[in-house]
């Protein structure tokens, strides 16, 4: 699901509802359920990226010149890189404040870890001594944006200010700018080791997948198949590929969730901020012998034994591309197309604040591999049935502007009931673009669309322009996401739901005071 203003709203434990085809490329597997796809022209191959080298080494317990200490003991015999001096690893998650820099209520401290600053499922950057995320009271939260001004981010620690600026590499680091190296907080080496040793890999993304979730998962599935791995990919019920994503290559690896192993040897979770976001696959993830979590959401709760989580990444696709590179698999057109769909989705077609020079560098590599940006853009944004226009017209006609809401920054909101779209024969997954029209309102900082799903629940998409942290408000209401794009799901009447959201938006976050 998404960057700071990605298409993918990411409710933590709440249900979500948002949302170029198999182009050949040799990535087919037999014996899997297939999903109907639109044929696409095979795309050219891209040469493999050069192997990374550096003085940090690749051993999980290797010390690096950027200040990491020796890794501590592990409860399962596995030592993960990124734990601090004497740190204890419990199922791959640092406990008792282990880390390169201590985190306190104001961010990090230069002299060591704060006592018990880690939550039960992982470190809380910017957390206080009680294991809470700084100033927001979210247990086990991991959010660089909610940490103090110099808080430790999940993308590795720097020398003195507690945050490696933009994930830049330290001495001898093999990482590209914008991504942490093997000595940072993410355990790339352990992830690669587990994947290389596996015969079968099960992939799961969040329910009601968006372009980043599904595109990243299918790209990784094809890369694993190229390595000779048996690969199964799925997402929780309802198991239906959104109409706007049926062009993506790699759907031959999709299987219904019931066909996934009950206790996989290795599972990789993609673009899910919490295990509950995997829906009916959450139990399988909990029983997996090894669980790798690849995600970029600030609201990630810290689940999984091996965590490749970076809230500063524009999309999960950024992390998946790095993982594929480290696995030594060259990008071909099909793999690149899934990654590009994820990157374009979560950067709002490269117009949101998460669009950095590194994002454009990655997009350029994907285009070199054969992606046709105009084709991807048409599928994601530039087509819709006529009925959608009628549903959109009704939603805009019902829109309400509250100039004094959201701390005086302004709120614009509307609703789309199930009966509205059923009358026009418009499927739920085609409603995502409505909020992009609503958020254009000059007088409102925050835009909200309440969409009733087929179960009668209201999925509440929120967007902000930077002055208000909608991610914090949505976490308070049981969802999650990013500072400028988040969501939650709730039952009840729309007026009651918007009252609760209005109250949550009234309380300033740590960066808004």
Burial of 30 (0-12, 13-18, 19+ CB in 10 A): exposed
**With pLDDT > 90 as the criterion, what percentage of the chain qualifies?**
60
**304 and 344 together in one domain:** yes
Q: What is the pLDDT averaged over residues 75-88?
A: 34
Q: What does the block give as tokens for 333?
A: 């057109």
- 69-74: long-range contacts at Cβ-Cβ below 8 A with a sequence spacing of 24 or more? 69/100, 72/98
The enclosing H or E element of 374 equals: helix 373-381
429 within a domain of the structure (yes/no):
yes
Helix, strand, coil percentages (3-state) for the chain, rounded to 5, are 30, 15, 55
Positive or negative torsion for Cα 82, 88, 93, 99 = negative
Q: Which has the closest alpha carbon to 232: 269, 265, 203, 208?
A: 203
Residues 339 and 445 grouped into a single domain: no
In a domain, 457, yes or no: yes
For 465, the domain range is 386-506
Exposed, middle or buried: residue 63 (CB in 10 Å: 0-12, 13-18, 19+)? middle
pLDDT(472) > 50: yes
Average confidence (pLDDT) over 307-311: 96
Does residue 251 sit within a domain? yes
One domain for residues 402 and 460:
yes
**Rounded mean pLDDT of 315-341?**
98
Q: Which residue has the higher pLDDT, 230 or 112?
A: 230
Looking at the DSSP bridge assignments, the partners of residue 49 are none
Closest-CA residue to 188 (of 54, 315, 331, 60): 60
Residue 93 pLDDT level (bands cut at 50, 70, 90): very low
Query: To which residue do tokens 């965590």 refer?
Result: 307
Residue 24 within a domain: no
Asked if residue 204 is part of any domain, the answer here is: yes
Assess whether 458 and 418 both reside in one domain.
yes
What is the rounded CA–CA span in Å between residue 77 and residue 125? 25
> Residue 20 pLDDT > 50, yes or no?
no
For residues 370 and 240, membership in a common domain is answered with yes
Average pLDDT on 388-417 reads: 97
Instruction: Say yes or no: 409 and 478 in one domain.
Output: yes
Q: By C-alpha distance, which of 58, 59, 327 is closest to 196?
A: 327
Question: Do both 327 and 393 map to the same domain?
Answer: no
| 391 or 149, higher pLDDT | 391
Q: Are 111 and 102 in contact (CB under 8 A)?
A: yes
Judge if 394 and 334 occupy the same domain: no
Question: For all residues of the chain together, what is the average pLDDT?
Answer: 73
Q: Domain boundary residue among 157, 179, 212?
A: 157
The answer on pLDDT for 441 being more than 90 is yes
Question: Which carries the bigger pLDDT value, residue 489 or residue 92?
Answer: 489
**Domain count for the chain:** 3
Residue 16 has what pLDDT?
A: 34
Q: Does some domain include residue 10?
A: no
Place of tokens 């003195």: 160
Shared domain for 497 and 350, answered yes or no, is no
8 Å CB contact between 131 and 121? no
Whether residue 82 is contained in a domain is answered as yes
Q: Per residue in 353-374, pLDDT tens?
A: 899 999 999 999 999 999 999 9
Six token digits for residue 45: 């191959």
Over residues 24-36, the pLDDT tens digits come to 333 333 333 333 3
More reliable by pLDDT, 96 or 400: 400
Residue 454 lies in a domain: yes
Q: Of 151-165, 195-209, 242-256, 454-468, which range is least confident?
A: 151-165
pLDDT level of residue 437 (50, 70, 90 thresholds): very high
Q: Which band of pLDDT confidence, cut at 50, 70 and 90, is reported for residue 481?
A: confident
> Encoding tokens for residue 413?
């909101």
Backbone φ and ψ of 474, nearest 5°? -70, -35
Among 399, 476, 469, CA closest to 439: 399
Distances (CA, A) of 328 to 48, 227, 324, 358, 405: 7, 9, 6, 20, 51
Residues 419 and 321 in one domain: no
Question: What is the per-residue pLDDT for 376?
Answer: 97
Same domain, 369 and 391: no
What was the pLDDT predicted at 508?
60
**Tell me: the pLDDT tens digits for 111-162?**
333 333 333 333 333 332 222 233 333 333 333 333 332 232 333 333 222 2
- Residue 352 shares a structural domain with residue 416: no
Name the residue with higher pLDDT: 313 or 87: 313
Segment 430-447 shows an average pLDDT of 96
End of a domain among 326, 352, 380?
Answer: 380
* CATH code of the domain in which 448 resides: 3.10.310.30
Query: Has residue 237 got a pLDDT over 50?
Result: yes
Of 349, 380, 411, the one marking the end of a domain is: 380
Closest to 355 in 3D by CA, of 343, 373, 366: 343
Residue 215: CATH number of its domain? 3.90.1640.10
Residues in the chain, overall count: 513
């Amino acid at each position: 699901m998404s960057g700071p203003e990605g298409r993918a709203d990411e409710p933590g434990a709440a249900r979500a509802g948002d949302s170029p085809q198999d182009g050949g490329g040799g990535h087919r597997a037999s014996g899997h359920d297939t999903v109907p796809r639109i044929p696409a022209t095979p795309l050219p191959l891209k040469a493999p990226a050069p192997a990374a080298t550096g003085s940090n080494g690749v051993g999980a317990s290797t010390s690096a010149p950027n200040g990491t200490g020796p890794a501590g003991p592990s409860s399962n015999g596995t030592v993960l890189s990124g734990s601090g001096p004497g740190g204890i690893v419990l199922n791959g998650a640092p406990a008792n404040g282990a880390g390169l820099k201590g985190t306190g209520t104001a961010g990090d401290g230069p002299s060591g870890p704060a006592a018990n600053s880690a939550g039960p499922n992982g470190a809380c950057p910017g957390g206080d001594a009680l294991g809470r995320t700084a100033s927001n009271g979210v247990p086990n939260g991991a959010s660089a944006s909610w940490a103090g001004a110099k808080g430790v981010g999940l993308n590795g620690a720097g020398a003195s200010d507690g945050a490696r600026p933009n994930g830049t590499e330290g001495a001898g680091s093999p990482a590209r700018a914008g991504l942490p190296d093997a000595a940072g907080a993410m355990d790339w080496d352990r992830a690669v080791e587990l994947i290389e040793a596996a015969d079968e890999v099960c992939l799961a993304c969040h329910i009601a997948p968006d372009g980043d979730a599904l595109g990243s998962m299918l790209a990784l599935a094809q890369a694993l198949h190229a390595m000779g791995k048996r690969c199964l990919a799925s997402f929780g019920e309802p198991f239906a590929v959104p109409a706007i994503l049926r062009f993506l290559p790699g759907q031959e690896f999709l299987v219904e969730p019931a066909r996934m192993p009950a206790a996989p040897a290795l599972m990789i979770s993609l673009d899910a901020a919490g295990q509950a976001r995997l829906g009916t696959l959450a139990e399988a993830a909990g029983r997996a012998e090894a669980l790798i979590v690849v995600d970029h959401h600030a609201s990630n709760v810290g689940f999984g034994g091996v965590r490749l989580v970076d809230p500063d990444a524009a999309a999960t696709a950024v992390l998946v591309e790095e993982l594929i590179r480290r696995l030594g698999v060259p990008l071909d057109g099909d793999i690149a197309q899934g990654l590009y769909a994820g990157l374009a989705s979560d950067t709002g077609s490269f117009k949101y604040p998460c669009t950095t020079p590194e994002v454009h560098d990655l997009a350029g590599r994907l285009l070199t591999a054969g992606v046709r940006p105009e084709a991807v853009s048409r599928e994601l944004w530039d087509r819709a049935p006529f009925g959608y226009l009628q549903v959109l017209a009704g939603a805009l006609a019902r829109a309400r502007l509250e100039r004094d809401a959201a701390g005086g920054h302004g709120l614009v909101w509307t609703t789309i009931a199930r009966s509205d779209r059923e009358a026009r024969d418009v499927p739920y997954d085609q409603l995502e673009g409505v909020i992009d029209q609503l958020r254009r309102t000059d007088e409102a900082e925050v835009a909200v669309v309440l969409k009733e799903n087929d179960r009668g629940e209201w999925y509440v998409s929120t967007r902000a322009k930077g002055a208000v942290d909608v991610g914090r408000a949505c976490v308070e209401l049981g969802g999650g996401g990013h500072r400028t794009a988040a969501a939650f799901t709730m039952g009840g009447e729309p007026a009651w739901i918007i009252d609760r959201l209005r109250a949550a938006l009234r309380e300033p976050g740590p960066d808004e005071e």
